[in-house]
């Protein structure tokens, strides 16, 4: 099985800089980064 990560939000804000956009909806990540399986591909989209 291969794991794909699509447009992850691993920080507290969406954009690369906090002044450019909103914050995440929930206070913490639903899963810790250490618990993620090996990721084969990560697809991101910049929405600036």
pLDDT in tens, 31-42: 888 898 999 998
DSSP tag of 7:
S
Torsion sign over Cα 6, 11, 13, 18 = negative
pLDDT at 48 over 60: no
Distance, CA of 6 to CA of 43 (rounded, Å) = 5
pLDDT in tens, 3-31: 888 877 777 776 666 777 777 777 777 88
* Domain limits, the chain: 3-43
pLDDT computed for residue 41 by the predictor: 92
């Amino acid at each position: 099985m291969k794991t794909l990560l699509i447009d992850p939000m691993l920080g507290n804000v969406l954009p690369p800089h906090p002044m450019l956009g909103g914050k995440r909806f929930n206070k913490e990540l639903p899963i810790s980064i250490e618990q993620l399986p090996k990721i084969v591909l990560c697809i991101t989209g910049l929405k600036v």
